[in-house]
Amino acid sequence: MITRPQDHHDEVLRFLTDLRFPFDNNQAERAIRMPKLKQKVSGCFRCEDGAQVFAIIRSYLSTLRKQSIDAYQALVMTFQGNPPMPRLA
């Protein structure tokens, strides 16, 4: 019998009253979804360097998004030679 939802009702339903909490904890799954989709569409990464570059760019953009920094504006600033640095705390 599952008792955790009953015993911790407020914590389990916290996402309903506080929008800072996600409905689920699938953040890690969502993080790997795009590389897997890219691999499916193109069949594979052509070289290890290309896969590493893809991972670095995706990680950087994901971090910016989590910190509510506009990804498009960040890319514009990056190509202008002034990339925004995410907070590392």
Q: For residue range 6-60, what is the model confidence (pLDDT) as tens digits?
A: 777 777 777 788 888 777 767 767 776 777 776 776 766 777 887 788 888 888 8
Asked whether residue 89 is assigned to any structural domain, the reply reads no
| Backbone φ/ψ region at 34: left (φ over 0), alpha (ψ -120 to 50), beta | alpha
Domain that holds residue 37: 4-79
- Is the pTM of the predicted complex or chain greater than 0.75? no
Contact 30, 37 (CB under 8 A): no
Asked whether residue 18 is assigned to any structural domain, the reply reads yes
Asked whether residue 87 is assigned to any structural domain, the reply reads no
